[in-house]
Amino acid sequence: MLPDTPPMQSFPTTRMRRLRRTPALRRLVAETRLSVDDLVAPLFVADGLEDPRPIPSLPGVVQHTLDSLSKEVARLVALGVPGVILFGLPRPEQKDAVGSQAFASDGIVQRGLAVVRDQVGDSMVVMADCCLDEFTDHGHCGVINPLTGDVDNDATLPLYAQVAVSQAGAGADVVAPSGMMDGQVGAIRTALDGSGLVDTAVMAYAAKYASALYGPFRDAVDVTIADGGDRRGYQQDARNRREALAEVALDIAEGADLVMVKPALTYLDIIADVRAAVSVPVAAYHVSGEYAMVCAAAERGWIDGPAVALEQIGAVKRAGADVILTYFAGQLAEALGG
Ligand code: PBG
């Protein structure tokens, strides 16, 4: 690359300044172009609901019925959004120690996937979050070892494999293990291949941090971790940067087709590191707390919500994300003109 110093000039005005004068000039020379093609919309589907139920801490996001899910997906397809990721809420009385509704063939995610798959054909990428926490009565992402009281990594893997196979069978193009169990990608890849589901892709939540920004999501899926617990024993420590690359490398070695960094804004350095280090597509999840903060401040008139949303999601793209999961997907698609 040539040295980027401006040529000798008699006036102080620089090239950079000249090229930002009009909207058209700025548009022409923009280094980052956020597009509807970058976006994936997270959607929640709940068993046993009569009507969609608003989630107070995620304004504009609801727990869907199968019917309202189908309408929302139709809207997103029309807007040009290329992907959705489904999360499910079983009936509360169906939660158990192993999260069996996560891999039931008639589980709510499986039924949701079937409805969406039927409706969109191949015009949209249908993803499923592959985890147990929405389905366990203790709210952890894996099964509990009765001797230690901790999440049992190795005993959880066969369950994730069952969840993935049942989601793929129900129509998921992509399964996305989000529980940060070691070996989850390998266990899922082996099980999918063993069931002939060789075309189902795995998007690993590879660098997922134990973040305080998941609060509204846990409202959205009615998850409370038993005994005031947390996920610090299996999700990454926010202070660690190099560790993310080690996690990503392991997941790619195990067969991950896409890798994800989560949350997004507090981990832009990680997104940039991962993008520079690997060749697979890198996803980033702008999570519930990030969305809720923008909505709350905008509601008070303290910030311009749509402008901040565009700036934040644009920053995630600039940092290097190829795929962005965001609750702003629909709104951004409207703004960007899909
Ligand atoms: C776990 C899962 C979580 C999110 C996605 N998958 C919650 C957690 O790890 O506690 C959070 C997403 C968000 O905050 O938007 N199944």
pLDDT in tens, 83-109: 999 999 999 999 999 999 999 999 999
- Residue spans of the domains in the chain: they are 37-336
Residue 177's pLDDT is: 97
pLDDT tens readout for residues 229-256: 888 989 999 999 999 999 999 999 999 9
Average pLDDT over residues 21-47: 98
pLDDT tens readout for residues 278-288: 999 999 999 99
- Torsional sign, CA 295, 299, 300, 302: positive
Atom of ligand 1 nearest to the CA of 235: 9
Residue 38's pLDDT is: 98
Calpha distance 168→113 (Å, rounded): 9
Indicate the class that CATH gives domain 37-336: alpha beta
Cα 179 to ligand 1 centroid, rounded to whole Å: 9
Residue 337 has pLDDT above 90, yes or no: no
Going by alpha carbons, the residue nearest to atom 10 of ligand 1 is 214
CA torsion angle for 221, 77, 193, 106 (degrees, to 10)?
50
Atom of ligand 1 nearest to the CA of 208: 9
Cα 214 to ligand 1 centroid, rounded to whole Å: 6
pLDDT tens readout for residues 133-155: 999 999 999 999 999 999 999 99
Using a 6 Å CB cutoff, which residues line ligand 1? 129, 131, 133, 141, 178, 214, 217, 231, 287-288
| Mutual angle of helices 66-79 and 329-336, in 10-degree steps | 30
pLDDT tens readout for residues 273-312: 999 999 999 999 999 999 999 999 999 999 999 999 999 9
Cα 21 to ligand 1 centroid, rounded to whole Å: 42
Mutate to test the pocket of ligand 1, among 40, 85, 133 (most ligand atoms within 8 A of CB): 133
Residue 2 has pLDDT above 80, yes or no: no
Q: What is the CA radius of gyration of the chain?
A: 21
Alpha-helical runs (H) found in 7-92: 15-18, 23-29, 66-79
Residue 223's pLDDT is: 87
Q: What is the amino acid identity at position 79?
A: L
Q: How confident is the model at residue 338 (pLDDT cuts 50, 70, 90)?
A: low
Mutate to test the pocket of ligand 1, among 61, 130, 167, 178 (most ligand atoms within 8 A of CB): 178
**Number of C-beta neighbours around residue 245 at 10 A:** 17
Going by alpha carbons, the residue nearest to atom 5 of ligand 1 is 178
Residue 222's pLDDT is: 85
Going by alpha carbons, the residue nearest to atom 8 of ligand 1 is 214
Atom of ligand 1 nearest to the CA of 132: 16
Q: How confident is the model at residue 6 (pLDDT cuts 50, 70, 90)?
A: low
Catalytic residues: 208, 262
Cα 106 to ligand 1 centroid, rounded to whole Å: 23
Mutate to test the pocket of ligand 1, among 135, 214, 218, 265 (most ligand atoms within 8 A of CB): 214
Residue 10's pLDDT is: 80
Cα 217 to ligand 1 centroid, rounded to whole Å: 6
Cα 221 to ligand 1 centroid, rounded to whole Å: 9
Place of tokens 């139709």: 74
Going by alpha carbons, the residue nearest to atom 7 of ligand 1 is 214
Residue 8's pLDDT is: 72
